[in-house]
Each structure stands twice: as structure tokens, then as C-alpha cells.
Amino acid sequence: MLGLMQDWPLLCHKIIDYAATQHGEREIVTRSIEGPIVRTNYAQIRVRAKKVSQALDADGFKMGDRIATLGWNTARHMESWYGIMGIGAIYHTLNPRLFPEQLAWIMNHAEDKAILTDLSFVPILEAIADKVPSLQKIIVLTDEAHLPKDSKLQLEAYETWIGGHDGDFEWMQFDENTACGMCYTSGTTGDPKGVVYSHRSNVLHALISCQPDALGIGSNEVIMPVVPMFHANAWGIAHTAPMVGAKVVNPGALMDGASIYELLDSEKVSLTAAVPTVWLMLLAYLEESGKKLPHLKRVVIGGSACPRAMMEKFQNDYDVDVIHAWGMTEMSPIGTIGCLKPQYQGLTGAEKLDLQEKQGYAPFGVEMKVTDDENVELPWDGKTFGRLKVRGLAIANAYYGGAGEDQFDSESWFDTGDVAHINELGYMQITDRAKDVIKSGGEWISTIDLENLAVGHPDIQEAAVIGITHPRWDERPLLICIAKEGRQPSESDVLEFMEGKVAKWWMPNAVAFVDEIPHTATGKIQKIELRKQFSEYSFPDG
Ligand code: AMP
């Protein structure tokens, strides 16, 4: 017998309909690419999204077409997503930090038919547009007055493009499993791989992420996604915030400490989210300026491991709670969130930080396990680490075009490529990427644990650990550090600081000081590049 309940397809544009109906006046504030702070609200976003749908429809774009976006977090970017999805087309977010050739490769792979780009990225398109034969139209997310006049490309101003339409448009109706969004993984090895989100998975992901033990947001929240929309849907916030009617503050192109602080303060932001590198800049700015964060209550940190010292600073010096989270583009992206279960509510000081160094536990809709290389499940004891595998309602079941098949098994478990352990209460801790873990004498050493420890040293700004070939142990850890400005820690200072805090055989064999550590387009340390830089290195002791 089937249930007798209504069939109400989970379509993303229903989110913006809801926001416009119930929270129509709630603001979306943006530091615009042109400069000024601009304000709109959910009611206007819906009207303008419908104009985007009309404009796409008038230009002949159809269901299933990939429409690329190359933009920072702005209201225009947000409304264009909803407009694209509203005709059953697919927003395809491009990361402007990638090399132009990589972008061209990705656009060709996705066969993008049109692109909506920020003003700042027109030069990138000028370099690659003729290498993407599928591309029919370039719309610049600006008005006529700011449209570059001397471009060799045929550009159209977004405001003119949608300006000819009235917003009187019925969203198209289709199956909830229809594709709505696309994002390529940053691909530190091999070609980037395309993740294809569905309307259903995005709606369910938003429902999950607003829960109290996830992002825990409602209509009273003022949320600033510093994490870009091109990084795994701004961790879903472009859907979660309208679903609950939260005010959104978009930082646009400026993510330096002073610019971020200005918006946190003037818009009274209560929750924000980004990768650790962004917070390093904000904390440095706060330290220099002596400013405080009276409005901010919580900061979500993920994308790479949040250093303990960063949590301590936010919590002790600024009274801002850190929520450490883990996820992946392939998971829409939320995988685990570091909220405290009742058993942990009483934790304070160092014990609380010990727990917060873990990436948290999985919400409803995410199953996870750790296995050894033979796919045998390992115990949840908080120490036995192995390959982290996941399945769930907003997790990829394949990559676009069938790439990376070996990461998915017949029972839908997706091999994340991360190495982790899980404790008795379900809290997971990433110890490494499978390809970065150091294999020393048949045992594994976690590079993330060593990095987190090293950045706790008062003179160290950033740290990365890589394995260096060793004649006796296969590999041994080399700690690579950037010293804080004006400080000159020595190798023995750093090693003494670490001693006793990790197992003796995990201690780095040496420390190298550098001026720069390379990062990927999504802010992760680029270990491949570091390994290349240190390919000739050998330890002083042989
Ligand atoms: P992306 O798809 O670009 O978001 O990258 C996903 C990968 O980032 C994961 O597989 C992890 O390796 C890493 N990652 C994300 N969040 C964390 C975290 N909190 N701690 C450690 N690694 C993380």
C-alpha cells in the first residue's frame, strides 16, 4: 500500500518562493564588485531570478543546459542560480582561482553554453572563450555603465539582459531528481571531476544543514558565507539561508581581514563560515587593530583542519564559538559537524579543544565507516585509522562522464580519499589525505596532527608536513614552516615545543623554514607542489 500523502517535488526554486513569501523583506547585503554596499531582499531576489529564467528562455536555453557562473558571493550570483534552476538548466560554478587552461578544460568537459561572470574575470574569459566552442553567450554581472567597452568579446550587461523582462514567470515543473548544479573538484591529482547535484539533494541538504546540531540557523540569524559559492555551493548556504529566512551578508571580492571585519561589525553578523586561511587574516587584523567581535557568536571552519590555536583564539580572546566541520564537494558538502552531544556538554578548556580538533559527527542523511585497505570495517575506538567511506542522501553516486569509477563501490559507499578515525560516540577525526599520510616502518603518521601541533608554537604562522624518503624507515616527516613576521624560531625551538605532545616516533626528523607554502584554489595546502619543491631534499642525518 502506498501512503496517501501529496507528491510535492523537492525543487530548489521552492526555497526562494518560500523565502519571498515568508521572509520577503529579510535583507541580502552585498559588497558589490563595483564597490558600494548594496541591499536587496528575498522578495526582490525572487522577482529578479524569474527575470533570469525569462531571459534564458528567450535566448533559447533549455532544460539540462549548463550555464556557468564565474563570480564571488553576491546577490546577483545568488538570484542567477535560482533563475537558472527555475528552467531546469544547471548552474555550473567555476573557481576563478584556477589557471585559465584548467577553466577552459572544465568548461569544455561540461559543455557550458553560456556564462555569467563578474567584471573582474572578463580578462580570464578573453583568454579562454575561443577555446570553448560550446559557449554562446557571455553575460557580465553588472550594469551597462560598468560594462567594459573595449573587450574583444561580445559582452552583455546582466542588468540590461534581465531588464527587458517583467518577472511574471511560472517556474518550470519537473522531476525532483533533475540535475540543478555542477561543481568540479579541485583535482590535486589527475583531471578535475564533475559533481552533479540534483534539486532533491540540494533541498534535502539545506534541510539537514539548518538543524540545531548542524549550522543551527533560523530567521534571526545574520549569516556571512565567506566561503565562496564556487566552493561546494558556499557549503550549501545559498540554499540553507533562504530556506529559513536568515539575513545574508555577501563579502563580494574582498576577503582581507579589514574588509571582513568591516562587514562583520556593520551588519552585526552572528554566524560566518570559511576555510582556516581566511580566519588567519582576520585574526591577524584583530590582533593588530585591537578590535573585538561583539556581534559574532559562531564561526564554522572547514575545508582543511582547523588548528587548535585558532579555536583557542576565537573562543578565549573573542568569545566566538568554533564549529569545526568536514565535508567535500561530492557531499554537497556537509559530512560531519562538531556540535557537542550531551555527553560532551560539560567539557571546558583543553578537554573541549581536544574534542573540537575532531571534525564532529555525521548528521541524519550521512552514513560513514572507516575500513582498512581490504575494505574490512575498523572499530569506532577513536584511534584506529583507515579509509573514510560515506553514503547518504546528498552524496555523489558517480562523477559526470563516468570518471573516478573506482571511488564508488556496489553498495554506494564513496571512498573519500581521507584517512580518519571515529570514536565511540561517532566523532570523526581526519588524520590525512590517503595520498599524504606518511608511511614509516609500516606504520602511518598523521601529517595533520603534526601540522596542528606545530602552528601552536607562538612564532609559527603556518606549517606543512610531508614524507621524505628514508633509507631505513621508508619515509620520515619533514616539517616545513613559515615563521610569523619578525620572529625567527630555530629548528630546536620548534622540536622542543612538540616533544612529549606526540609519540616519539612521529617527531619530524627536521624542520625547514620557507617564505611561502603553496595553496590550492580552495585554500588547501598543495602537498604535491611541496613534494616537488623538496624532491631533492635529504635529512641531515641521512
Ligand atoms: P573540497 O571538495 O574542495 O571541499 O575538499 C574536500 C576535502 O577537504 C576533504 O576530502 C578533506 O580532505 C578536506 N577537508 C575538508 N574539511 C576538512 C577539515 N575540517 N579537516 C581536514 N580536512 C578537511
Torsion on CA atoms 185, 263, 321, 312, rounded to nearest 10: 90
CB 531 within 8 A of CB 518: no
Distance CA 117, CA 113 (A): 13
Ligand 1 pocket test: pick from 186, 195, 235, 326 the residue with the most ligand atoms within 8 Å of its Cβ. Answer: 326
Can you tell me which atom of ligand 1 is nearest the CA of 359? 19
Task: Provide residues with CB under 6 Å of ligand 1.
Answer: 185-186, 232, 302-305, 324-329, 333, 359, 416-418, 430, 433, 522
CB 313 within 8 A of CB 276: no
Tens-place pLDDT, residues 318-344: 999 999 999 999 999 999 999 999 999
Among the ranges 14-23, 301-310, 452-461, which has the highest mean pLDDT value? 14-23
Can you tell me which atom of ligand 1 is nearest the CA of 186? 3
Catalytic residues, by residue number, are: 185, 330, 439, 444
Tens-place pLDDT, residues 371-420: 998 999 999 999 999 999 999 999 999 999 998 899 999 999 999 999 99
Rounded distance from Cα 519 to ligand 1 centre (Å):
13
Rounded distance from Cα 357 to ligand 1 centre (Å):
14
The sign of the dihedral angle between the CA atoms of 242, 243, 244, 245 is positive
Distance CA 514, CA 480 (A): 7
Q: What residues does 114 pair with on adjacent strands?
A: 67, 137
Rounded distance from Cα 305 to ligand 1 centre (Å):
8
Give the residue whose CA is nearest to atom 4 of ligand 1.
Answer: 328
Distance CA 169, CA 150 (A): 34
Q: What are the CA-CA distances from residue 277 to residues 134, 483, 520 (Å)?
A: 36, 15, 11
What pLDDT is recorded for position 542? 59
Distance CA 136, CA 56 (A): 12
Tens-place pLDDT, residues 500-521: 998 899 999 999 999 999 998 8
Rounded distance from Cα 329 to ligand 1 centre (Å):
9
Can you tell me which atom of ligand 1 is nearest the CA of 433? 12
Cell 588524520 belongs to which residue? 431
Give the residue whose CA is nearest to atom 5 of ligand 1.
Answer: 328
Section 59-84 average pLDDT: 98
Give the residue whose CA is nearest to atom 23 of ligand 1.
Answer: 304
**Per mean pLDDT, which range of 173-177, 186-190, 427-431, 463-467 is the poorest?**
186-190
Distance CA 530, CA 519 (A): 10
Q: Does the pLDDT at position 426 exceed 90?
A: yes
What pLDDT is recorded for position 191? 83
- Written as nine digits, the cell of 10 is 523537492
Can you tell me which atom of ligand 1 is nearest the CA of 232? 4
Distance CA 200, CA 253 (A): 30
Ligand 1 pocket test: pick from 430, 447, 450, 528 the residue with the most ligand atoms within 8 Å of its Cβ. Answer: 430
Ligand 1 pocket test: pick from 97, 301, 310, 328 the residue with the most ligand atoms within 8 Å of its Cβ. Answer: 328
Q: What are the CA-CA distances from residue 242 to residues 1, 17, 118, 233 (Å)?
A: 36, 9, 23, 13
Cell 628514508 belongs to which residue? 470
Amino acid, res. 5: M
Rounded distance from Cα 275 to ligand 1 centre (Å):
10
Q: What are phi and psi of 187, to 5 degrees?
A: 55, 70
Domains (range + CATH), the chain? 13-26+35-198 (3.40.50.12780), 367-433 (2.30.38.10), 438-533 (3.30.300.30)
